[in-house]
Structure 1
Amino acid sequence: MLNNPVWAALSGPQAGYAEAAGDAARYQPDISPFCAVSDPADPAAWRDLATLTDYALLTGPALAPPPGWVEDVRLQGVQMVGTAMTAADDPEAVPLTEHDVPEMLDLVARAQPGPFRKRTIDLGRYLGIRSRDGRLISMAGERFRMPGWTEVSAVCTDPEFRGQGLGARLTLAVAAGILARGELPFLHTVHDNDTAIRLYERLGFEHSTDVVFTSFRYTG
């Protein structure tokens, strides 16, 4: 399941956010750019994906599409799991709602945590910390959700406020909500972000597998 998290999410708990065709699915475009096929080694699944989109962002341990799909951008990453971690709520963390989306998008533009769109917040619980003057300066939330697992995502802090542990606090707070549901948290980060990897290890996450984030164009 963790080897193909987007498919597990879109064919399971998050099917309501999917556009699907046969053995392929993608999130509705204003939610997330991620797509998935049930079996990356199955050419038929990629043909199904071509009926949904001609530009696809996928993640998994290995991705080798059949002819007709051309690799555009590849980014090496790691998947980490919190199978034995403990977490805690944070008294300064406030729930974020659709009314906060403009501020969230502005923070994402400054902090660059990865893909985040105007309806990404629909996927789960998002928490934020605000500065004394009310600005949203840090946030984290839930993205891919599958049976027994939920991904911690969009962990980011305004560059002006980094180094204060805000991202760590929110990661733990989001993970606490996941654990309280009887699920386990996991997350992804790029493979050369040593600072983030060390932080997540200190929080109790462990390396699960190496992954790639790859975008492909369908040329027919």
Structure 2
Amino acid sequence: MNSDPTVLDNPVAQSLLGTHAHLARRLGQAATYLPEVTTFCALPTEPDPADWADLARLLGSDGFADMFSNAAPAPSDWEPVFVLEGRQMVWPGGRPPGDPGAASDAAIAELGPDDVPDMLDLVKRTEPGPFWTRTVELGTYLGIRVDGALVAMAGERLRPPGWTEISAVCTAPEARGQGHAARLVRALAAHILARGDQPFLHVAEANSGAIALYERLGFETRGPVTFQGFRTP
């Protein structure tokens, strides 16, 4: 497996140019996902004023620009919304991540459009990151139900060439401590590796518990990432 890690420097752009092109809106070198899918936007690594202007036209007046991993400074008339420091972690290769500890016997099932209301409810309760009505179209999503209720899930998000991001890893408060997140990440990683891609993920630097879990599973830190959000003029 020889996935080029440099595509992870701008994974949103690489995804929108390739696997997720059918979910993209583009103008010049600016691109963004369809709004029901996710808010992530992409520009060249070193955008010029014309690129920012194209993105503003795509998003419209007072549009939200979710700059996933582009640290370039926005134009002065773009209103800052948030800045979040995080890290990018990669699975270095070989077999799927190992088992870091105990796991429940609850069955893992693939989630689809009919599960979206339950997925949105779980996201609202756990806040793993952006998730919208069509986010499930980005890739495979897996979940665990207990007595019919969705208590944990994780799925695939960005798809730069040779790589697949694991995202939306979350567990309901009443179901934590049972190994659900670890099982779901391992299952997704095995699915990704079987397809010929390498798993990677992003995590907020302040989320030390998630970082520790991913490290126990075998993921390694590739480098820091700054997430930024802006409002267009």
Residue in 1 that maps onto 2:35? 29
Residue in 1 that maps onto 2:91? 82
Secondary structure in structure 1 of the residue aligned to 2:68: strand
| Residue 151 (str. 1) matches residue 160 (str. 2) | no
| Residue 12 (str. 1) matches residue 18 (str. 2) | yes
TM (norm. structure 1) is 0.94
Instruction: Tell me the distance in 2 between the aligned counterparts of 1:203 and 1:63.
Output: 32
Residue in 1 that maps onto 2:126? 111
Instruction: Tell me the distance in 1 between the aligned counterparts of 2:54 and 2:138.
Output: 24
4+ runs of 1 displaced by more than 6 Å? 88-91
- Deviations for 1:120-150, whole angstroms, at most 9, x for unmatched residues? 000100000111x111100000001111001
- Deviations for 1:3-33, whole angstroms, at most 9, x for unmatched residues? 1110110111111000110111111000001
CA RMSD of aligned residues (A): 1.7
Secondary structure in structure 1 of the residue aligned to 2:206: coil
- Deviations for 1:172-208, whole angstroms, at most 9, x for unmatched residues? 1111111001100100110111111010011111001
Secondary structure in structure 2 of the residue aligned to 1:146: coil
- Please state how far the C-alpha of 1:65 moved relative to its aligned partner: 1.8
**Identity in percent:** 51
| Residue 182 (str. 1) matches residue 191 (str. 2) | no
Which among 64, 68, 74 is matched to residue 59 of structure 1?
68
Secondary structure in structure 2 of the residue aligned to 1:44: helix
Secondary structure in structure 2 of the residue aligned to 1:60: coil
Instruction: Tell me the distance in 1 between the aligned counterparts of 2:72 and 2:118.
Output: 35
- Please state how far the C-alpha of 1:47 moved relative to its aligned partner: 1.4
Q: Provide closer, same or farther for how the CA distance between residues 2 and 63 of structure 1 changes in structure 2, counting only shifts above 3 A.
A: same
Secondary structure in structure 2 of the residue aligned to 1:145: coil
TM (norm. structure 2) is 0.89
Instruction: Tell me the distance in 2 between the aligned counterparts of 1:203 and 1:176.
Output: 12
- Please state how far the C-alpha of 1:213 moved relative to its aligned partner: 1.2
Instruction: Tell me the distance in 1 between the aligned counterparts of 2:49 and 2:201.
Output: 28
Is the 2:71–2:227 Cα contact (8 Å) retained in structure 1? Answer: no
> Bigger CA drift: 180-189 or 51-60?
51-60
| Residue 95 (str. 1) matches residue 116 (str. 2) | no
Q: Which amino acid aligns with 1:136?
A: L
Q: Provide closer, same or farther for how the CA distance between residues 91 and 122 of structure 1 changes in structure 2, counting only shifts above 3 A.
A: same
Please list every run of 5 or more consecutive structure 1 residues that lacks an aligned counterpart in the other structure.
none
Q: Which amino acid aligns with 2:56?
A: A
Secondary structure in structure 1 of the residue aligned to 2:159: strand
Instruction: Tell me the distance in 1 between the aligned counterparts of 2:218 and 2:50.
Output: 39
> Bigger CA drift: 177-186 or 62-71?
62-71
Is the 2:45–2:70 Cα contact (8 Å) retained in structure 1? Answer: no
Secondary structure in structure 1 of the residue aligned to 2:9: coil
